[in-house]
């Protein structure tokens, strides 16, 4: 397996272009199953999860093509993917495909909405908690789908089509909102989703669906109203910038010091995280096309954070922020309220010299004078990049193993950091 080797101590200076958001691209690709026409998606990141989903879609009979580079595009500025789900040959998503990525379970919504039948394996993916699919199944059942569980598969049928309904989520669920949104676009009548996720990725999906002919109001609020239509058509849509990648590089420059412009992104997508960075001692300034992050030689201040659904502090930035707080002048508390098993990076950060105590859903981070390089192991996507952030300031050499987790969610990470002065390289396995 590939490894990443880092020699710490170099500040970050320059410009990093932010890629399209993986967490937006995946549901957008899945939405192509709702129409026989072609859906063209621009700014799609080059990631392992994107490739995995394309394989799953091909298994259904979806044709896809990746356009050649346009003027001004590079390996770091996304790609254009065209998906055509005209001739679907199968509505089964087998375990060997779905088990590699949780989000692929969402294909159940457009398949049952458009074809009246879907058989999808229970999902796999990162081991950061149980993340059950019960709320997703509940949403489909509310819309009239008959649900059965057979040998690890969820079978959903609706031979007469789905019907509009009121869906009240007992807790905020991004996956559940995606599933309900896609299924309701082709349901007969009106659907109201209450306690809907407000994440920008949900808004991005809704905007694409509207371009395809869906009738949706309220995306970005806690109540979304969908008036079902008989069919959707093709469209062209650009994937939103990745707010988690943005926050990750912002924390990296806050950690190392330097002056970094993050281009092609939007501060309003992660204002809670930027506010926290400002409290920690980084200077955050919006620019015409993104964000500028600076930190001189001043020390980092400890800040307490609690992860929350949008617009709160994102759980997907918790590990990165924990790495940052290992160098703060004092003790910070990080409370994780979204996933119950998302502190697996703590033991790996401890190998670098971090002082972290766990107590239930909280981690108490005592800042240390310095970290020391060591071999560490990536445990999931966000945990792996927290080790990169720590390695950027650790004395000596840090080697990160199992970096396939990084390849699932960060496009051209080594190239982007190297260009800004980091001493980082990939060692092929």
Give me the pLDDT at residue 300, please: 97
Nearest to 353 by CA among 394, 308, 300, 411: 394
User: What stretches of 143-242 show up as alpha helix (H) in DSSP?
Assistant: 174-185, 200-211
Residue 216 host element (H or E): strand 215-217
CB atoms < 10 A from the CB of 360, how many?
Answer: 8
For residue 65 the two structure tokens come to: 């093509």
For residue 99 the two structure tokens come to: 């088990």
- Please tell me the distance from the alpha carbon of residue 248 to that of residue 410, in angstroms, as a whole number: 10
Residues in the chain: 429
Q: Specify whether 126 is catalytic.
A: yes
Determine which one of 6, 98, 126, 186 is catalytic: 126
3-state secondary structure 28-41: HHHHHHHCCCEEEE
Give me the pLDDT at residue 345, please: 92
Question: What one-character-per-residue DSSP string does 246-268 give?
Answer: HHHHHHHHHHH-EEEEEES--GG
Segment-wise mean pLDDT, segments of 10 residues, the chain, 429 residues: 94 97 97 98 94 94 84 70 96 88 92 97 57 86 96 93 98 96 98 98 98 98 98 98 97 97 96 98 96 91 97 96 98 91 88 97 97 92 90 98 88 95 93
Give me the pLDDT at residue 427, please: 93
Q: What's this model's pTM, rounded to 2 decimal places?
A: 0.94
- Please tell me the distance from the alpha carbon of residue 244 to that of residue 21, in angstroms, as a whole number: 8
Give me the pLDDT at residue 291, please: 98
69 secondary structure, DSSP code: P
* Sequence-distant (≥ 6) Cβ neighbours of residue 38 within 8 angstroms: 82, 83, 84, 234
């Amino acid at each position: 397996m590939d490894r990443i080797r880092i020699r710490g101590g170099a500040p970050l200076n320059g410009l990093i272009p932010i890629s399209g958001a993986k967490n937006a691209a995946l549901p957008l690709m899945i939405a192509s199953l709702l129409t026989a026409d072609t859906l063209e998606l621009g700014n799609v990141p080059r990631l392992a999860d994107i490739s995995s989903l394309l394989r799953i879609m091909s298994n259904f009979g979806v044709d896809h093509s990746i356009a050649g580079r346009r003027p001004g595009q590079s390996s770091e500025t996304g790609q254009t993917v065209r998906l055509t789900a005209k001739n679907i040959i199968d509505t089964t998503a087998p375990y060997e495909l779905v088990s590699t990525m949780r989000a692929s379970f969402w294909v159940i919504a457009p398949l049952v909405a458009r074809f009246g039948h879907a058989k999808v394996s229970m999902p796999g993916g990162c081991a950061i908690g149980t993340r059950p699919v019960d709320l997703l199944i509940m949403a489909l059942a509310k819309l009239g789908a008959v649900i059965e569980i057979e040998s690890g598969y969820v079978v959903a049928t609706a031979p007469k089509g789905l019907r509009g309904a009121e869906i009240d989520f007992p807790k905020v669920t991004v996956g559940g909102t995606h599933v309900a949104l896609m299924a309701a676009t082709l349901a007969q009548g009106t659907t109201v989703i209450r306690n809907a996720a407000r994440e920008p990725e949900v808004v991005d999906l809704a905007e694409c669906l509207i371009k395809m002919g869906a009738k949706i109001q309220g995306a970005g609020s806690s109540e979304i109203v969908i008036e079902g239509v008989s069919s959707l058509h093709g469209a062209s849509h650009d994937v939103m910038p990745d707010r988690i990648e943005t926050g990750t590089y912002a924390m990296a420059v806050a950690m190392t010091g330097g002056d970094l412009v993050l281009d092609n992104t939007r501060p309003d997508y992660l204002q809670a995280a930027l506010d926290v960075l400002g409290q920690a001692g980084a200077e955050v300034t919006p620019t015409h096309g993104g964000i500028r992050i600076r930190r001189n030689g001043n020390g980092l201040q400890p800040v307490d954070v609690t992860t929350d659904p949008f617009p709160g502090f994102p759980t997907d930035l918790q590990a990165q922020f924990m790495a940052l707080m290992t160098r703060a002048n004092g003790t910070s508390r990080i409370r994780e309220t979204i996933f119950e098993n998302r502190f697996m990076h703590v033991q790996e950060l401890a190998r670098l010299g971090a002082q972290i105590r766990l107590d239930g859903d909280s981690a108490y981070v005592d800042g240390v004078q310095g970290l020391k390089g060591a071999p560490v192991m990536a445990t999931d996507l966000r945990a792996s990049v927290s080790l990169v952030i720590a390695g950027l300031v650790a004395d000596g050499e840090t080697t990160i193993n199992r970096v396939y987790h990084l390849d699932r969610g960060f496009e051209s990470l080594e190239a982007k950091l190297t260009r800004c002065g980091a001493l980082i390289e990939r060692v092929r396995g």
